[in-house]
Amino acid sequence: MHATVLEWYALHARDLPWRRPEASPWSVLVSELMLQQTPVARVLPVHAAWLERWPTPAALAAATTGDAVRAWGRLGYPRRALRLHAAATAITTTHGGEVPQAYETLLTLPGVGDYTAAAVASFAYGRRHVVLDTNVRRVIARAVGGVEHPARSVTRAERDRAAALLPGVEADGSSDAATWNVGLMELGALVCTAASPACDRCPLVDRCAWVAAGRPAYDGPPRVAQTWAGTDRQCRGRLMAVLRDADGPVPISALEAAWAGAEQRERCLRSLVDDGLLAQVGPSTYALPTD
């Protein structure tokens, strides 16, 4: 499988800025935080603007959290902007402004969990780690496990299987593990998609256990689709949009105009303040944080 996936990736990889040889580890870290639950097409312009404005962790650490939230724009899940700002501060104060190389050290950064630490160590530094994003998990589940979709959360058996599939270390100390990881990721994003897999274009079709079994339908726990309209997420997004587009503090009346439901609006305002995304600067006035 290694040669097949690596050859396919060499021919079909998208030209993404965080994958280019000149990409800094900081660019890779920023991309990984931005890409969580967000399509590549939406991330590309924000990533470019972010790196132009804050090309190093120290540059972001010198900005306010409000600046980070405003620059995050409409990517969604804006707490990621706060986590990235906190990580930049930790990198600047504790690691000399350089994104750490070791998985264990990356895990100590605010907002960096198992997946992000493994991804940055692998993609920025070529370290040999299992990187299990949604696309990688789906390709392995189908090609090796023979099932349409992986479990909702990563299992020990799934992690062990992925570890066994990692390319080994050559005599000269090199490994194709990082390229293997990103190759599986790209295959899942472009070909082995969740809803409409293009098996006729897949380089693994002749050895895919799921195809060999007749592409059996998923029979696990129901896969619940995320809703949006009317949710607290939508309400929070509307309120954040008002603050991002304003030059300064905004009165509660502007927020009332953005979301009519008083009870939900108040609940979401409280949660945004609790999360550090907004600050109440007057009895009925709100603003982005300035710390």
**The 285-287 sheet, strands edge to edge:** 250-251, 285-287, 279-282
**Contacts of residue 146, Cβ cutoff 8 Å, sequence gap at least 6:** 209, 210, 212, 213, 216
Write down the catalytic residue from 22, 32, 52, 158.
32
The two tokens of residue 99 are 């994104």
Do 185 and 179 contact (CB within 8 A), yes or no? Answer: no
Q: How far apart are CA 233 and CA 33, in angstroms?
A: 18
Tell me whether residue 256 is one of the annotated catalytic residues. no
* Of 41, 1, 12, 10, nearest in space to 198 by CA: 12
Q: How far apart are CA 90 and CA 109, in angstroms?
A: 7
The two tokens of residue 184 are 């599986």
Q: What one-character-per-residue DSSP string does 37-76 give?
A: TS-HHHHHHHHHHHHHH--SHHHHHTS-HHHHHHHHTTSS
Catalytic amino acids?
Answer: 32
